[in-house]
């Protein structure tokens, strides 16, 4: 398992570096950073001083080396807006997003397993219709529209939920989590349903049935474990795309998370913070992918065997 982990980490480092390099070079492609950061009225002296202070007069290779050197020393530069360390800002915003994403995936996975298994177990039942409705919604309803309509109905119309912010305890979670959950829930339900349909017709389930196992036991003990592997893979991909949703949802609901910080640092042209948030997101996704692969290996004996070699 250790061998497997090491190889997985090594193969994932490359994409990570590529993403960082891409963001770094793209950010520098805007031309002279001084004209972006300084006001129009800045004197040439001020511009020169600014360029030198931030090391923009070095060659691009030197800058890349400096940046990556800084990353290894855990020095991510300072925010140009607040003067705070970019890492502090990113890390402060991180838990809010993590909580949001965690709650969302928990609800999505639990809902998908229940609805998906039920739909597979009883085709054409109510659950089957709910499953297809959910997957249709997931593929076609824009999340920002869902969020705004939710605000309109529940916050503006009924006054039951707050329009934004995190101050109101549990009730401020309802709309953001619901908005974020529609997509993963719909997709996952479809995946679980599909995997369960094929698992339920597999020989080992027929064997379990012939030995007299009841419906619930067959589903929960025999079929679900085997249907979990594809669902897990998709759940991983969905968590990556959850960041997409988080940017939108955090902007709409004023959620002080990483997505909002990213948009703010983009509109505020704050390179260091942008890079820190992108790095943090990329590392999280990177760790997540490894965790998923390990879970995958734990679930599937065939993968475990190849991993051991």
Partner 1 sequence: MSTLSDKAADGRPATGSDAPAGGAEPSAPARDSRVGLWRMLLRDRVATAAAAVLSLIVLTAVFGPLLVGSAATEQHLDNTNQPPFTFDDGWLGVLGTDPLGQSVLARLVVAARTTFSVAAPAVALALAIGALIGMWAGYHRGLRETLAMRVADIIMSFPSLLMAVVVLYVFSPSVANLVVVLAITRIPVYLRTARAESTELQSRLFVDAARTFGTSSSAIIRRHVFPIVLPTLLTLATLEFCYVMLAESSLSFLGIGIQPPDVSWGLMVSQGRSYLQTAWWLTFFPGLAIIVTTVSATVLAAWARLATDPAQRWRLTLPRRARHRTRTAPAPQEAQS
Q: Closest approach of Cβ 127 to partner 1, in Å?
A: 14
Question: Could you tell me which residues are beta bridge partners of residue 78?
Answer: 85
According to CB under 8 A, which one of 201, 216, 217, 221 is a site residue for partner 1? 201
Taking residues 141 to 180 in sequence order and writing x for each that binds partner 1 by CB under 8 A, - otherwise, the string is: xxxxx--xx-xx---x------------------------
131: which 2 tokens? 């499953």
Instruction: Please report how many Cα atoms fall inside a 13 Å half-sphere around the Cα of residue 270, on the Cβ side.
Output: 26
Alpha-carbon distance of 87 to 78, in angstroms, equals: 8
Q: Which of residues 14-33 bind partner 1 (CB under 8 A)?
A: 14-15, 18-19, 23, 26-27, 29-30
Residue 251 touching partner 1 (CB under 8 A)? yes
- Total residues binding partner 1 (CB under 8 A): 63
Q: Which one, 177 or 182, has the nearer CB to partner 1?
A: 182
Does residue 255 interact with partner 1 by CB under 8 A?
no
CB of 179 to partner 1, least distance (A): 12
96-100, Cβ contacts within 8 angstroms, sequence gap of 24 or more: 96/166, 96/250, 96/255, 96/256, 96/257, 96/258, 97/246, 97/250, 97/255, 97/257, 97/258, 97/259, 100/173, 100/176, 100/177, 100/180, 100/246, 100/249, 100/250, 100/255, 100/257
* Among residues 113, 234, 261, 273, the one that binds partner 1 under rule CB under 8 A: 234
Rounded CA separation 196/225 (Å): 10
Q: How far is the CB of 190 from partner 1 (least distance, A)?
A: 7
C-alpha 126/C-alpha 48 separation (Å) is 69
Cα(64)–Cα(224) distance, integer angstroms = 48
Q: Report the distance separating Cα 163 and Cα 167, nearest Å.
A: 11
User: Interface with partner 1 includes 189 (CB under 8 A)?
Assistant: no
> Which residues form the interface with partner 1 (CB under 8 A)?
14-15, 18-19, 23, 26-27, 29-30, 123-124, 135-136, 139-145, 148-149, 151-152, 156, 187, 190-191, 194-195, 197-198, 201, 230, 233-234, 236-237, 240-241, 243-244, 247-248, 251, 262-263, 266-267, 274, 278, 281-282, 285-286, 289, 293, 296, 300, 302-303, 306-307
């Amino acid at each position: 398992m250790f061998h497997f982990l090491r190889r997985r980490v090594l193969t994932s480092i490359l994409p990570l570096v590529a993403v960082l390099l891409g963001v770094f070079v793209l950010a520098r492609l805007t031309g002279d950073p001084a004209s972006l950061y300084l006001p129009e009225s800045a004197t040439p002296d001020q511009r020169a001083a600014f360029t030198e202070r931030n090391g923009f007069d070095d060659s691009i290779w030197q800058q890349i080396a400096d940046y990556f050197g800084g990353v290894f020393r855990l020095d991510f530069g300072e925010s140009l807006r607040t003067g705070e360390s970019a890492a502090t800002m990113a890390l402060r915003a991180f838990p809010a997003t993590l909580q949001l994403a965690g709650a969302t995936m928990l609800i999505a996975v639990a809902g998908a397993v229940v609805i998906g298994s039920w739909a597979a177990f009883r085709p054409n039942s109510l659950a089957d219709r709910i499953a297809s409705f959910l997957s249709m919604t997931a593929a076609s309803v824009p999340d920002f529209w869902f969020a705004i309509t939710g605000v309109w109905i529940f916050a503006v119309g009924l006054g039951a939920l707050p329009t934004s912010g995190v101050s109101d305890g549990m009730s401020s979670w309802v709309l953001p989590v619901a908005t974020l959950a529609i997509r993963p829930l719909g997709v996952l339900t479809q995946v679980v349903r599909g995997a369960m349909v094929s698992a339920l017709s597999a020989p080992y389930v027929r064997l379990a049935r012939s030995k007299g196992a009841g419906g619930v036991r067959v589903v929960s003990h025999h079929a679900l474990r085997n249907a979990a592997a594809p669902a897990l893979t998709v759940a991983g991909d969905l968590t990556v795309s959850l960041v997409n949703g988080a940017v939108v949802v955090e902007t709409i609901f004023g959620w002080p998370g990483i997505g909002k910080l990213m948009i703010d640092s983009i509109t505020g042209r704050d390179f260091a913070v942008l890079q820190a948030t992108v790095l943090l997101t990329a590392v999280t996704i990177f760790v997540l992918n490894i965790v998923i692969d390990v879970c995958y290996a734990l679930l599937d004996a065939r993968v475990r065997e190849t991993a051991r070699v």
